[in-house]
Structure 1
Amino acid sequence: MSGHITEIVIFTTLFVLVSGMGFVASRWRRADNLASLHEWGLGGRSFGAWITWFLVGGDLYTAYTFVAVPALLFGAGAMGFFAVPYTVIVYPMVLLILIRLWSVSHVHGFVTPADFVRARFGSPSLALLVAITGIVATMPYIALQLVGIEAVLKTMGVSGDLPLIIAFAILAAYTYQSGLRAPALIAFVKDILIYVVILVAIIYIPARLGGWGSIFDAAQAKFDATPAPGDGILLNANNQLQYVTLALGSALALFLYPHSVTGVLASRNRDVIKRNMAALPAYSLLLGLIALLGYMAIAAGVTPIGRDVNTVVPQLFDRMFPDWFAGVAFAAVGIGALVPAAIMSIAAANLFTRNIYREYLRPDATDAQEASVSKVTSLVVKVGAVLFILLIDPQFSIDLQLIGGVIILQTLPSITLGLFSRWFHRAGLIAGWVAGMSAGMLLLYNIANPAIDHAHFGGSAFPLEKLGLDTKMTIYAGFLALIVNLAVAALGTWIARTAKVPDGPDATRPEDYYADANDPRIRDLEVTGST
C-alpha cells in the first residue's frame, strides 16, 4: 500500500467530495415534501434534458461496464465489442416505447413498470411476477457495481472488505436522505471524470505503447497463442450468431430493467425523452473507446490479480499513468459505481413498495407511508448487494449479471408489447413468463465454462449442438428463452380466448399514450399517487 499513497489520497478525497454532494442533493431542486415516491423515487418527475442525459447515461454505463467490457476484450477479443452495437441500436428501438410509457405513467401516476402491467391487463398476479422479476434481475446488478470498486482497491493494495462496506454504507445513507436527486447530481461529476480519463487514456497510453498498430499486433499474438477457438480480434463462424443475438437481446433488455425506466419516468416531458434518445449514443462512442483498454492492457503486459480479470484496467492505469492521474482514474471508476447503484436500489425498492407492499400488505397506504417503506427497502437491497460480494465468489456474481439479462427479457411481452396492444390475454402472458423463465434457466444451467471451473451457469452462450444440431455455433440463451415465452404466450392467449376465460379490465385509454406535460389528463401527482 505504501507505493500507492498518492492514488489513495486522491481517490478518497474525490469519493468523499462526491458523497457530500449526495447528502446535500436533498436541497437541490427541493420539493415542498419529499414524503412520496413521486418526489423521493422519481425526483418530482421534473428533470430536464441535461439532467436526464447525465442521469440515464450514468445509470446505463456503470463501473462494471468500465472494467468488465475491456476485461472481456482482454480475455476473448472481438466478442467483447457486442456492447457497442447494442447501445447503438437500442435508442431508436426504444424511442417510441419510452414516450408511450412516460405518457401513460404520468396520466395514471405509475411509478414502476409493474404498475403499468397491473392497469393494462387488470392482473395483480402478472404485475407481481413483473415486480419480482425486476427485483431479482436488479439485485446482482447492484452487487456488480462493487466489482469495479473492489478491482480498484485491489490495485491500490487495499485489502479486506471494510472499505467496500463503508463505501456502500455512505451510499445507503445519502440515497435514504435524498432519493433520486442524489444520483442525478452526482452523475454530472461521474460522467465528466470518465470522459476526461478515457480521452486522456486513448491518446496517452497508445503513444507510450508504440501506437495502435503495435497494440492490435500484441492482441492478435496473444489470441493466436490461446487454444480457445472463439478468441481473436475478429469474429469467426462459431461466435457470429452469439454476437448478433447477444447484442439484440441486450438491446431489448436494457430498458426493461427497472432502473432504466426510473430515469425515464423522472423526465419532465416527452420532448426530454426524444432529445435524450438522440443524444445518448454519444456514450456508445465512449464505450467503444473504453473497450479498447482491454487491448491496451495486453500490449502493456498486464496480468490479472489472481484470477480477477476485472483488475486489468485499474492495473493498466496504475502502470501507465502518473500516480496523481491514476488516482483520478480510480476515483472515476469508484464514483461510477455510486450513480447506478443508487438508482438500482431506488427502482427495486419502488417495485417492492408499489407492487408487493401496497398491493398485498397495505392497500390503504398513504404517500408518506409508501416513501418510508421504499427508503427502508432501498437499505435492505444495498445490504443484500454487499452480501452478494462478501459471500459469493465474485466471478460467479459476474455470471449472475448475464443471468439477470435472461430473466428481465421475460417481461418484454407484458411491458413492451403491452404498450402497443392488448391482444395478449393475461393468462397467456403468465404462461409465457413461466415457460420463458423455465427455458432460460434450463439453457443457462447447461452452459459450462471450464476456464472458471463452472459446469453450469458459466455464461450466456448456449451451444446449438446441445439441441441436436451439427454445428459449433452458439446463441444467446436469453434470445431462445424469449422465443419460447412469446410462442407460449400466443398459444395461451388463443386457448384462453377460445375457452372464453375472462380477461382483466384495461384501465388505460388509447389517448393516454400520447399525453404530454400540462395535459389536463395528467393527475396532480403530489396529491394522487395510486395506480
Structure 2
Amino acid sequence: MLIAMVAVVMAASIGLAVWAGRGSRGGGISEFLVGGRSFPAWLIYFLAVGEVYSIGTMIGFPSGIYAHGASYGIWFIGYILLAYSLGYFLAPLVWRAAKRHEAMTVPDVFGRHYRSRPLELITCVTMLIALVPWGQYQFIGLQVVLSNLGLSLSPVQCVVLAGIIAFVYIAVSGVRSPAFVSILKDVFMLIGVVLVGVAAVLAAGGTAKVSGPEVLTAAQTTMGGNDLLFAMTTIAFQSVVFYLGFGGAYVFPARSERAVKTSTVWMPMYMLIYPFLVLAAYYGVSAHPGLANPNTVFMVTARGLLPEWLLGLVAAGAALSGVLVLAATALSIGGMISRNIAPNVSPGAQRRWTVVAVAGFLVLGAVLTLVASTLMLTVLNLTYNLLAQVVPGWLAILFAKRVRTSAVAAGMVVGVVTAITLYATDATFGGVNPGLVSLGLNLLVVFGWSALAPGAERVPVARGTAATEQAIVR
C-alpha cells in the first residue's frame, strides 16, 4: 500500500508536468526558463512556496530541533517570516531589473546592468558553487525519506530515482513543471505534516506530554548566550538572502511587478505548518532518543505513529517536495550554464544545452550525496553563506548610482573565499553567523571601494520610471 501510494502520486506529478508543458513545446529559451514571463500572481505563489517549503522543511527543520533544540527552530521560522516582509518591497524590484535587461538568469542581470562579461562570469560561478550544495540538500532529504520507509532500496537507488524524476520534470516543460507540480506537492505536504503532528499529540496524550517541561530538558526549549546571538544574526542575514539570493528562480517568471507583490501577501499563511513540525520533532526527542542520524527523526516518528496507507501520504508529500526543488534548482543551473558560461550557443540550441546541463548537475548532486552526506541544516547554512555574496551586487543594481564594476566583482570573490574558509574551518565569532561576516566583508569592498573611487553613473532600478525603463532598454 505504501509503495503504491508513493508511486501513484509521483506518476500523477509526472502527468501534471506533461500537461503543464502542453502549450510550450517548441518554445524558445524564454518560455523554457521563465515561462515567457507570463505567470499570474497565484501561480507565482505556488512556485515560490513550492521552492521555499522544500523537503528541508519536512525533514531538515525537525532534525535541527532534534539535534540542537529550540534555537534552530527559532531562526528557521524567524528568517522566513522576516523575509516575506522584505520581499514585499524587494521582490518587485528584482523582477523589474530582470525585465529591464530581458534577463532569464541572475548573471544576465549583473552582466547587462554593468555591461561586463567578467562580472557575469563571476556571478555565474558564485551561484553555481552555492546551488550545488542546495541540490545536495534535496538529495539528502529524499534519501532519508525513501530509505526510512522500509523499502528495499539502496542509497544509490534512492538518489537515482529522484534524479530521473527531476530530469523528466524539466525536460518536458521547463519552469512550468515546478510551478504546476507545486500545487500537488503542497496538498500532500500539508496533509502529511498535519497528520504526523496530530498523531504525535494523540499518542503522547496532549501537547503538554509532547513539549511540556516534564518531558523536555531546558536545553531543548530555551536558549541564551551564543545560541541566542546565532539565532538573531541568522534571522537578519538569511532574510535578506531569501529574495536577493534565491529570488530570481521564482520572481523572473511573473507577468508583472504587481503579480510579484500580490503573491507575497499570502505566503506567511503557509507557516501554519510549523507548529505541527515542532510537535513531531519534540515527540521524536522523547520517543526516539539517540538516533544515529538526526535527519531521520520526522520519518521515524511518522512510521511509528501512522498506518501504512497514511504513511504513504506523508512519504509522497516529502518526496514531491524534494524532487520539485531539485528540478527547479537543476533548471536554474542549466540556464546559467547554457546562457552565461557558454553564451555563444545559438538561441535555438540553448534549450537543448540547458537540458544537458540539468542532467549533469543531477548526476553531480547524486554523487556528492552518496559520498558526503551531512546534517541537512549544515548544508543549508553553506548554501545561504554562498548565495549571500550576490546580495551587495543586487543592492548596487537596485539602489546605487555609481558603484564600480570591479568593486562588485572583487567583493563577490572576497565573500565567496571567506565563506568557504569559515565553513571549512568551522570558525565561530561568539555566536555571530559566519555568513554575516563574509557578507560584511563583501559589502565593505563593494561600497567602500566605490565611495573612494566612484564608478560610471547608472540608473538604479528602484529609481526607474516607465519612461526611463524604455529608454534604458532602447
- With the length of structure 2 as denominator, give the TM-score of the two structures: 0.92
CA distance in 2 between partners of 1:420 and 1:522 (Å): 16
Opposite residue 428 of structure 2, the aligned amino acid is P
Residue of structure 1 in register with 2:41 after alignment: 49
Opposite residue 262 of structure 1, the aligned amino acid is A
Of all paired residues, the percent bearing the same amino acid is: 20
CA distance in 2 between partners of 1:221 and 1:417 (Å): 50
- In the alignment, which of 255, 260, 269 is matched to residue 268 of structure 1? 255
In the alignment, is residue 251 of structure 1 matched against residue 251 of structure 2?
Answer: no
In the alignment, is residue 411 of structure 1 matched against residue 376 of structure 2?
Answer: no
- In the alignment, which of 357, 363, 367 is matched to residue 347 of structure 2? 367
CA distance in 1 between partners of 2:140 and 2:266 (Å): 28
CA distance in 2 between partners of 1:509 and 1:291 (Å): 42
Write out aligned runs for 1:82-481 (5 A).
82-158=75-151, 159-160=153-154, 161-217=156-212, 221=215, 223=217, 231-258=219-246, 260-301=247-288, 304=291, 307-358=292-343, 362=344, 365-392=345-372, 394-395=373-374, 399-447=378-426, 462-464=427-429, 473-481=430-438
CA distance in 2 between partners of 1:409 and 1:178 (Å): 30
In the alignment, is residue 40 of structure 1 matched against residue 32 of structure 2?
Answer: yes
CA distance in 2 between partners of 1:515 and 1:357 (Å): 32
Opposite residue 483 of structure 1, the aligned amino acid is G
In our comparison, the structure showing a higher alpha carbon Rg is 1
Opposite residue 140 of structure 1, the aligned amino acid is P
State the shift of 1:22 in Å.
Answer: 2.1
CA distance in 2 between partners of 1:271 and 1:181 (Å): 20
Opposite residue 298 of structure 2, the aligned amino acid is V
What residue ranges of structure 2 are gaps of 5+ in the alignment? none
Which digits, 9 at most, give the CA deviation of each residue in 1:328-351, with x for residues without a partner? 101110011121111111111112
CA distance in 1 between partners of 2:390 and 2:462 (Å): 24
State the shift of 1:409 in Å.
Answer: 0.6
CA distance in 1 between partners of 2:466 and 2:296 (Å): 47
Residue of structure 1 in register with 2:69 after alignment: 77
State the shift of 1:192 in Å.
Answer: 0.9
Opposite residue 325 of structure 1, the aligned amino acid is L
Which has the higher mean CA deviation after the structures are superposed, 187-196 or 44-53?
Answer: 44-53
Residues 169, 178 of structure 2: 8 Å contact kept: no
CA distance in 1 between partners of 2:190 and 2:248 (Å): 24
Residues 54, 322 of structure 2: 8 Å contact kept: yes
CA distance in 1 between partners of 2:51 and 2:461 (Å): 31
State the shift of 1:264 in Å.
Answer: 0.9
Opposite residue 437 of structure 1, the aligned amino acid is V
Which has the higher mean CA deviation after the structures are superposed, 372-381 or 14-23?
Answer: 14-23
State the shift of 1:59 in Å.
Answer: 0.6
* Partner SS for 1:422: coil
Which has the higher mean CA deviation after the structures are superposed, 281-290 or 369-378?
Answer: 281-290
- With the length of structure 1 as denominator, give the TM-score of the two structures: 0.83
| Residues 253/104 of structure 1: CA separation in 2 closer, same or farther (3 Å cut) | closer
**Higher-helix-fraction structure:** 2
CA distance in 2 between partners of 1:184 and 1:83 (Å): 24
- What RMSD in Å do the two structures reach over aligned CA positions? 2.5
* Partner SS for 1:182: helix
CA distance in 2 between partners of 1:193 and 1:186 (Å): 11
Which digits, 9 at most, give the CA deviation of each residue in 1:4-47, with x for residues without a partner? xx3222122222222232233211xx14742x221011112111
> How many pairs were matched up?
470
Opposite residue 440 of structure 2, the aligned amino acid is I
State the shift of 1:263 in Å.
Answer: 1.3
Residues 104, 513 of structure 1: 8 Å contact kept: no
State the shift of 1:288 in Å.
Answer: 4.3
| Residues 278/172 of structure 1: CA separation in 2 closer, same or farther (3 Å cut) | same
* Partner SS for 1:43: helix
What residue ranges of structure 1 are gaps of 5+ in the alignment? 1-5, 225-230, 448-461, 465-472, 498-502, 524-530
State the shift of 1:510 in Å.
Answer: 5.7
CA distance in 1 between partners of 2:36 and 2:332 (Å): 15
State the shift of 1:167 in Å.
Answer: 2.7
* Partner SS for 2:432: strand
| Residues 13/189 of structure 1: CA separation in 2 closer, same or farther (3 Å cut) | same
Residue of structure 1 in register with 2:18 after alignment: 23
Residue of structure 2 in register with 1:488 after alignment: 445
State the shift of 1:399 in Å.
Answer: 3.2
Which digits, 9 at most, give the CA deviation of each residue in 1:190-237, with x for residues without a partner? 00111122233333320221111111137x75545xxxxxx4211112
Opposite residue 179 of structure 1, the aligned amino acid is G
CA distance in 2 between partners of 1:504 and 1:417 (Å): 12
CA distance in 2 between partners of 1:511 and 1:147 (Å): 39
| Residues 76/223 of structure 1: CA separation in 2 closer, same or farther (3 Å cut) | farther
* Partner SS for 1:424: coil
